[in-house]
Structure 1
Amino acid sequence: MPAHIVLIDAMNLIRRVYAVQERPFHYMDTLSETTKQQIVHNTIIHTVQAVRKILNNQQPTHVLAVFDSQSPCWRYKLYPDYKKGRKKMPEHLERSLTDIQDALLELHVDSLVSDEDEADDLIATLAIKVALRAQDVTIISTDKGFLPLLCEHIRVFDYFNQRLLDEQYVQDKFQVKSTQLIDLWTLSGDATNKIPGVPGIGQITAAQLLQQYQSLKGVLGATDLKQSLASKLQDHNPQMQLYQELLTLKKDIPLGFNLKDIRLNKQLSQQAV
């Protein structure tokens, strides 16, 4: 039986589940401890339910929930404004993460928590290692940062909208191929991660440039650009190199475990369900 590895972007899933549970209390200026505990309790229940559905629908042979490090990753050292202004995780949710991990373990879904890396880099590393062995990977996330990984053996699934984020989705949303996305965001910026891009170049212009010249290297080497655009690109070349590094997921992080360590015992998992 061919392997199918499901990698769950845990905080992407949990924070969205939490937001739904918290929404009825938005009218309150402050939350009582009792209310916080109730929201967290509901978040744990609904997160477990979501993972049960993922297991039932995806039918993986291996599964892993990957959590971000609680310490700032390497990107913040390179670029202090990385994700600047993003809403901080509520303390009561942060304190509950080990409880969520324990609840997932009852489904025989293990968790990987890094000391210093973002979950995205860990997921990318594992996905590439698996894909190079011609085995299939499904990444459960709504994070567009995984889309450059799309290939024959790697797919991205949006649990909340129950759809694959595939090449057609990329083309419809960004008007480029998945292999051109890093170059697109380098030019146009990535608001989610507070990466500004080149001033005056939006997504439409960036996509048009990549459609014509295929890559950022091709754009920079073009001799028929308007002088104002060529000058702007030249002036921002050092920043673009930084943006590319920030946007590119690491694929070589030492993981310290084998696939057999995350093999899903379906019989035990189904009993837990």
Structure 2
Amino acid sequence: MSAHVVLIDALNLIRRIYAVQERPFLFNGELAPNTQQQVLHNTVQACFQALQNILAQLEPSHALVVFDSEKPCFRYALYPDYKKGRAKMPSHLAQQMNKIQDSFLALGVDSLEPDEDEADDVIATLSVKVALRNQHTTIVSTDKAFLSIINENIKVYDYFNRRYLDEIYVKDKFQVTPDKLLDLWTLTGDTTNKIPGVAGIGQVTAAQLLDEYGSLAAVKNAPQLKPAIKRKLEENQSQMELSRKLLTLKQDIPLGFNLKDIRLNLAQA
């Protein structure tokens, strides 16, 4: 029987659910202390319900919820401004993670918090390993980073909009195919994570270059490239190399467990 592994980007799911629960109680951007416990209770319940829905909708044979490490990942050492300015998780929400993990475990789904890696890299590693065995993975996340690894065996599912973020979605949003996304973002950067790109090259220009030449390597070596573009690439070569390292999802993390360890008890799920 072919495996279908569902990997859930934990904080992507939990923080979005919390934002929905918190929004009605915000006043001038602040959460009143007397409503905090109600919002947290609602968040735990909503996370439990979300996982129930995911299991019912996707019908996996295996599932795992993956958290980020509490330690900074390798990207911060390469680039201290990585994710600079992004709002931190509220401390009162962070204190609920054990409760949320326990609620997930009640559905038969374990949680993984790596020692030093981001959830994205762990999920990418496991997805690729499963795909190499011609088995199927669905990543539950709205993080665009995962779009760069989708293929016939790896899918990305947006739980909040109940849709797959497939090749058609990628083409419509970025004007390139998934296999060219890493090249595209190397040129444009990623504002969400504060990763810079090549100044003066936006998504439209980057997509046109990749459509015409096929890859970033081919663009850089094209003899007929416009002088202004060529100059920008030459002046930003070291920046592009750094950005590519930051944007590339690791696919070789030692996981320390087997698929059988995350198999679902389907009667329980």
Structure 1 and Structure 2 fold alike (TM over 0.5): yes
Detail structure 1 runs of 4+ shifted over 4 Å in the superposition.
none
CA deviation map 1:215-266 (0-9, x unaligned): 1101110111221211110010011011111101000001100100000001
Q: Is 2:268 the partner of 1:268?
A: yes
Cα drift, residue 214 of structure 1: 0.8
Q: What letter matches 2:220 in structure 1?
A: L
1:152 equivalent in structure 2 = 152
Quote the residue 2:19 is aligned against. 19
CA distances 1:131-189 after superposition (whole Å, capped 9, x unpaired): 00000000000111001111111000000011110011111110101000011011011
User: What is the CA distance between 1:39 and its match in structure 2?
Assistant: 1.1
In structure 1, the residue matched to 2:162 is: 162
Tell me by how many angstroms 1:31 deviates.
3.1
Taking a change above 3 Å as real, the CA distance of residues 29 and 141 of structure 1, as seen in their structure-2 partners, is closer
In structure 1, C-alpha distance between the alignment counterparts of 2:155 and 2:13, rounded to whole Å = 17
Percent identical: 61
Match of 1:115 in 2: 115
Q: Which residue type is aligned with residue 26 of structure 2?
A: H
Cα offset for 1:64? 0.2
> 1:115 deviation in Å?
1.5
RMSD: 1.0
Write the letter of the residue equivalent to 2:71.
Answer: S
CA distance in 1, matches of 2:202, 2:121: 26
Indicate the SS of the match to 1:5.
Answer: strand
**Any idea what the Cα deviations from partners look like across 1:45-99, whole Å, max 9, x if unmatched?**
0011011000001110000000011221110110111111111110001111111
> Which residue number in structure 2 is paired with residue 238 of structure 1?
238
Gaps of 5+ in 2: none
Partner of 2:90 in structure 1? 90
Distance 1:67 1:214 in 2: 35
On the 8 A contact 2:22/2:31 being kept in 1, the answer is no
Amino acid at match of 1:262: I
User: Are 2:126 and 1:126 aligned?
Assistant: yes
Deviation at 1:37, TM superposition (A): 1.6
Structure 1 CA distance for aligned equivalents of residues 104 and 201 of structure 2 = 44
CA-CA distance at 1:116 after TM superposition: 0.9
Structure 2 partner of 1:195: 195
Question: TM-score with structure 2 length normalisation?
Answer: 0.98
The residue identity in structure 2 corresponding to 1:145 is A
Query: Distance between the aligned counterparts of 1:199 and 1:29, measured in 2?
Result: 34
Amino acid at match of 1:146: F
**2:6 aligned partner:** 6
Who is 1:180 aligned against?
180
Q: Which amino acid aligns with 1:74?
A: F
Q: Distance in 2 between matches of 1:266 and 1:88?
A: 36
Bigger mean CA deviation after superposition, 222-231 or 106-115 = 222-231
Tell me what 1:248 maps to. 248
**What is the one-letter code of the residue matched to 1:248?**
T
Q: Is the counterpart of residue 61 in structure 1 residue 61 in structure 2?
A: yes
Three-state SS of the structure 1 residue aligned to 2:81 is coil
Residues 29/134 of structure 1: CA separation in 2 closer, same or farther (3 Å cut): closer
The answer to which of 224-233 and 246-255 deviates more is: 224-233
Stretch deviating more after TM superposition (20-29 or 74-83): 20-29
Report the Cα distance in structure 2 between the residues aligned to 1:245 and 1:72, rounded to whole angstroms. Answer: 16
Q: CA deviation at 1:34?
A: 3.5
> What residue number does 1:102 align with?
102
Q: What secondary structure, in the 3-state scheme, does the structure 2 residue paired with 1:63 have?
A: strand
DSSP 3-state at the match of 2:157: strand
Structure 1: 5+ residue stretches without partners = none
